[in-house]
Structure 1
Amino acid sequence: MRGWPLTEIERHDGIAAHEHRPGGWRIGRYPGPELADDGPALLAELAEETGAPALTGFVLDSDAVFVEGLSARAGHWRARLVREAAEAYCEDDDEDFDAEFPRPEAAARTAAAWAKEAGLAPDPSGLLEVFAVEGAAFAEELFFRLLCELGIRPED
C-alpha cells in the first residue's frame, strides 16, 4: 500500500509491525489468521481508503503464501507462492486449485501488470522465478522477494 500511514487506516488495530519502503510504500504485518478469512475484504478496504493498489500475503506455517492484489485496472487477482505446498493446504476444499490459482507464468504476468499500474518497475523474469519456487525454507522470505521483484524494494 502506498503513501498512507498504516495507523490511519480503518483496520489499523492488530498491525504488529510496519515498515516504510521507497516510493511511499508501507508494509504492515498482522499476526494470526486475520487474512485467512478476511483477506479480500481487507484488500478492498485498503485500496478504497488509500486510492492506490493494494497487496496482501497470507503465510501458512512458513510453507506457502496466498497472495492477493487489487487495483483499478488490473482488478482482483490471486496467486500462490510455493504452489505445491499451497495446494496441499487446499486438498480438502471443494475447489479446482488450478482453475482458482494461476500457474507461475500467468501469475507473473498478472503481478507485473499490477505493479506497472502501481507505478513500479517490476522484473518479469524475477517474478516468474519467485512464483516457480518449490520447497522454500521460509515462505515469508519468498514473499519479501516477491515485493522486491514487483519493485517494492527496501532502502539501500
Structure 2
Amino acid sequence: MGFWGSYVVCRSATPLDDIPAVVKRHDGIDEHELRSGGWQIGRYAGPELADEGPVLLPELTEETGAPALTGFVLNSDTVFVEGFSAGGGHWRACLVREAAEAYCEDDDEDFDHEFPPPEEAAHAAAVWAREAGLLPDPSGLLGVFAVEDTDFAEELFFRLLDLLGIGPTE
C-alpha cells in the first residue's frame, strides 16, 4: 500500500507546525525537510488537506509572504498539485495523469478543465516559480508532467520541486 497524504511547501523562517494556516487544518507533521533558500516541505498523512488548497494556499501565502504549493498523493499512484502566488493566483495540475483521471472517473467534474494537459501545467508551474523568485526548468517541468507511469508518484513530486528551483540544501 502506498502513501496517502499531503505535502505542503512554503518559504518561511517559521516551522510549518507553527504556521496557523496549516496548524488549524491538521494534527501534526509526519516528516519535515528544509531546502535551500528557506523553503520547507512538510508531509502530512491522511486526507485532511486534500481539498484545502484553494483556501489553505492563499492563507499560507499571506502568512509567509511567499508563494506556496501542496501535493496530495493518492496511494503513491498520482499527485494532485496546487499552487498559489499573490500575483498569479491559484493553479492545479496532476502528476501521472492517467492514474489521476482514474481516481476522478466517478466525479461529476470535467477532468481536463480541472487538470490541464502537461503543456499548460508546466507553464503554470513555471510562472509560479518565477513569481517565487526561483529559476524553473521549463522543459524539465513539461517532462515531469508528461510522465505516464511510476512506482512512487511522490518521487515525481520531489522531482517537480527540483525543477521548480526548490533544490536540496547545499
Q: Shorter chain as normaliser: what TM range?
A: over 0.9
Alpha-carbon distance in structure 1 between the residues aligned to 2:141 and 2:91:
15
Alpha-carbon distance in structure 2 between the residues aligned to 1:7 and 1:88:
33
Alpha-carbon distance in structure 2 between the residues aligned to 1:14 and 1:8:
10
SS in 2 for 1:37: coil
Matched, 1:3 2:17: no
| Percent of aligned pairs with the same amino acid | 73
Alpha-carbon distance in structure 2 between the residues aligned to 1:59 and 1:42:
17
Alpha-carbon distance in structure 2 between the residues aligned to 1:37 and 1:55:
13
Per-residue deviation at 1:15? 1.3
**Counterpart residue identity of residue 76, structure 1:** H
In the alignment, which residue of structure 2 is the partner of 1:140? 154
- Number of equivalences: 156
Matched, 1:88 2:102: yes
Taking the TM superposition and a 5 Å limit, the aligned residue runs for 1:34-73 are 34-73=48-87
Give CA-to-partner distance per residue, 1:91-129, whole Å, 9 cap, x none: 000011011111000000010000000000000000000
Alpha-carbon distance in structure 1 between the residues aligned to 2:162 and 2:149:
20
Give TM-score, length-normalised by structure 2. Answer: 0.88
Alpha-carbon distance in structure 1 between the residues aligned to 2:13 and 2:42:
11
Give TM-score, length-normalised by structure 1. Answer: 0.96
**Counterpart residue identity of residue 136, structure 2:** P
Name structure 1 gaps, 5 residues minimum: none
SS in 2 for 1:36: coil
In the alignment, which residue of structure 1 is the partner of 2:5? none
RMSD: 1.1
Name structure 2 gaps, 5 residues minimum: 1-9
**Counterpart residue identity of residue 12, structure 2:** G
Matched, 1:112 2:121: no
Pairing partner for 2:139 from 117, 122, 125: 125
Pairing partner for 2:92 from 74, 78, 91: 78
